[in-house]
Amino acid sequence: MTYGQTTNDTLTIYIDGVLSASNPVTSAWSWPLTQEIELGQSHDSYWKRFDGDMDDFRIYSRVLTDTEISQVYASGALVDTSALKVQYTFNKALYGQSLVWPFGTLLSSPVLGPAAVWTPVPGAVSPMPFETSQPAQFYRLVGLP
Protein backbone atom coordinates (compact mmCIF):
# COMPACT_ATOMS: atom_id res chain seq x y z
CA MET A 1 0.00 0.00 0.00
CA THR A 2 1.24 3.48 -0.73
CA TYR A 3 -0.34 6.40 1.07
CA GLY A 4 0.55 9.99 0.34
CA GLN A 5 -0.56 12.19 3.22
CA THR A 6 -1.49 15.38 1.38
CA THR A 7 -4.58 16.21 -0.67
CA ASN A 8 -2.46 16.03 -3.85
CA ASP A 9 -1.57 12.37 -3.19
CA THR A 10 -3.19 9.00 -3.76
CA LEU A 11 -3.88 5.94 -1.63
CA THR A 12 -2.93 2.91 -3.71
CA ILE A 13 -3.20 -0.77 -2.78
CA TYR A 14 -1.09 -3.45 -4.47
CA ILE A 15 -1.52 -7.17 -4.00
CA ASP A 16 1.50 -9.28 -4.98
CA GLY A 17 3.00 -6.25 -6.76
CA VAL A 18 -0.10 -5.64 -8.89
CA LEU A 19 -2.32 -2.57 -8.59
CA SER A 20 -5.58 -3.54 -6.84
CA ALA A 21 -7.23 -0.17 -6.10
CA SER A 22 -6.41 3.51 -6.07
CA ASN A 23 -8.22 6.57 -4.67
CA PRO A 24 -7.25 10.23 -4.28
CA VAL A 25 -6.51 11.43 -0.75
CA THR A 26 -9.36 13.82 0.04
CA SER A 27 -7.92 15.39 3.19
CA ALA A 28 -4.42 15.65 4.61
CA TRP A 29 -3.72 13.05 7.29
CA SER A 30 -0.96 11.80 9.56
CA TRP A 31 -0.69 8.75 11.78
CA PRO A 32 -1.76 9.46 15.40
CA LEU A 33 1.36 9.37 17.59
CA THR A 34 -0.32 7.17 20.22
CA GLN A 35 -1.74 4.57 17.82
CA GLU A 36 0.08 1.32 17.11
CA ILE A 37 0.96 0.37 13.55
CA GLU A 38 -0.82 -2.92 12.91
CA LEU A 39 0.91 -5.27 10.48
CA GLY A 40 -1.02 -8.10 8.87
CA GLN A 41 -4.16 -7.62 10.96
CA SER A 42 -6.30 -4.55 11.67
CA HIS A 43 -8.71 -3.65 14.45
CA ASP A 44 -10.57 -1.49 11.88
CA SER A 45 -13.37 -3.39 10.09
CA TYR A 46 -12.73 -1.43 6.86
CA TRP A 47 -9.15 -2.75 6.55
CA LYS A 48 -9.83 -6.32 7.81
CA ARG A 49 -10.30 -7.54 4.24
CA PHE A 50 -6.54 -7.01 3.82
CA ASP A 51 -5.58 -9.06 6.91
CA GLY A 52 -3.05 -11.75 6.08
CA ASP A 53 0.57 -12.76 5.64
CA MET A 54 3.27 -10.40 4.45
CA ASP A 55 6.85 -10.76 3.30
CA ASP A 56 7.99 -7.37 4.49
CA PHE A 57 6.82 -3.95 5.63
CA ARG A 58 8.53 -0.66 4.80
CA ILE A 59 8.06 3.03 5.41
CA TYR A 60 9.67 5.40 2.92
CA SER A 61 9.73 9.19 3.22
CA ARG A 62 8.03 9.41 -0.17
CA VAL A 63 5.43 7.50 -2.18
CA LEU A 64 6.93 4.76 -4.37
CA THR A 65 6.05 4.55 -8.06
CA ASP A 66 4.27 1.61 -9.73
CA THR A 67 7.63 0.54 -11.22
CA GLU A 68 9.33 0.62 -7.81
CA ILE A 69 6.51 -1.42 -6.25
CA SER A 70 6.97 -4.01 -9.02
CA GLN A 71 10.74 -4.11 -8.32
CA VAL A 72 10.14 -4.58 -4.59
CA TYR A 73 7.73 -7.44 -5.24
CA ALA A 74 9.88 -9.14 -7.89
CA SER A 75 13.24 -8.95 -6.15
CA GLY A 76 12.86 -7.42 -2.69
CA ALA A 77 14.98 -4.49 -3.93
CA LEU A 78 15.58 -1.50 -1.68
CA VAL A 79 14.52 0.94 -4.37
CA ASP A 80 15.54 4.15 -2.59
CA THR A 81 17.76 3.56 0.46
CA SER A 82 17.96 7.30 1.23
CA ALA A 83 14.14 7.43 1.56
CA LEU A 84 13.84 4.12 3.49
CA LYS A 85 12.98 4.84 7.14
CA VAL A 86 11.69 1.50 8.50
CA GLN A 87 11.85 -2.06 7.21
CA TYR A 88 10.62 -5.28 8.78
CA THR A 89 11.37 -8.44 6.80
CA PHE A 90 9.49 -11.65 7.57
CA ASN A 91 11.10 -14.47 5.62
CA LYS A 92 12.40 -17.99 5.82
CA ALA A 93 15.44 -17.58 3.58
CA LEU A 94 17.44 -15.60 6.17
CA TYR A 95 18.09 -17.69 9.29
CA GLY A 96 14.71 -19.46 9.07
CA GLN A 97 12.14 -16.86 10.09
CA SER A 98 13.57 -13.53 11.18
CA LEU A 99 12.86 -9.88 11.85
CA VAL A 100 15.08 -7.26 10.21
CA TRP A 101 15.15 -3.58 11.19
CA PRO A 102 17.66 -0.83 10.31
CA PHE A 103 17.58 1.09 13.63
CA GLY A 104 15.68 1.56 16.89
CA THR A 105 15.06 -0.66 19.92
CA LEU A 106 12.89 -3.75 19.42
CA LEU A 107 10.08 -4.21 21.98
CA SER A 108 7.66 -7.13 22.34
CA SER A 109 4.33 -7.85 23.98
CA PRO A 110 2.20 -11.01 24.05
CA VAL A 111 -0.98 -8.90 23.56
CA LEU A 112 -2.10 -5.73 21.78
CA GLY A 113 -4.30 -2.90 23.06
CA PRO A 114 -4.51 -1.08 26.40
CA ALA A 115 -3.33 -4.16 28.34
CA ALA A 116 -0.11 -4.42 26.31
CA VAL A 117 3.13 -4.18 28.27
CA TRP A 118 6.02 -3.50 25.86
CA THR A 119 9.42 -4.69 27.02
CA PRO A 120 12.80 -4.60 25.27
CA VAL A 121 13.69 -7.89 23.59
CA PRO A 122 16.84 -9.13 25.35
CA GLY A 123 19.84 -9.29 23.03
CA ALA A 124 17.82 -8.21 19.97
CA VAL A 125 20.17 -7.60 17.05
CA SER A 126 18.96 -7.35 13.46
CA PRO A 127 18.47 -9.80 11.82
CA MET A 128 16.83 -11.62 14.70
CA PRO A 129 15.83 -15.23 14.08
CA PHE A 130 12.87 -16.62 15.98
CA GLU A 131 11.32 -20.02 16.32
CA THR A 132 7.70 -20.63 15.42
CA SER A 133 7.53 -22.96 18.44
CA GLN A 134 7.94 -19.94 20.74
CA PRO A 135 4.81 -18.21 22.13
CA ALA A 136 3.34 -15.62 19.73
CA GLN A 137 4.61 -12.08 20.25
CA PHE A 138 3.84 -8.66 18.79
CA TYR A 139 6.76 -6.36 18.02
CA ARG A 140 7.32 -2.63 17.70
CA LEU A 141 10.29 -0.29 17.46
CA VAL A 142 11.07 2.81 19.49
CA GLY A 143 13.76 5.39 18.85
CA LEU A 144 13.10 5.84 15.13
CA PRO A 145 14.67 8.83 13.39
Q: Domain-by-domain residue ranges, the chain?
A: 1-27+37-82
Q: What is the pLDDT of residue 95?
A: 46
Q: What is the pLDDT of residue 17?
A: 87
Q: What is the pLDDT of residue 75?
A: 86
User: Do the beta carbons of residue 140 and residue 118 sit within 8 Å?
Assistant: yes
Q: What is the pLDDT of residue 7?
A: 81
Long-range contact pairs involving 126-134 (C-beta distance under 8 Å, separation at least 24): 126/99, 126/100, 126/101, 126/102, 127/89, 127/94, 127/95, 127/98, 127/99, 127/100, 128/98, 128/99, 128/100, 129/95, 129/96, 129/97, 129/98, 130/96, 130/97, 130/98, 130/99, 131/96, 131/97, 132/97
Q: What is the pLDDT of residue 118?
A: 93
What's the average pLDDT block by block, 10 residues per block, for the chain (145 residues)?
82 86 83 74 68 75 90 87 83 61 86 90 80 74 76
Q: What is the pLDDT of residue 53?
A: 65
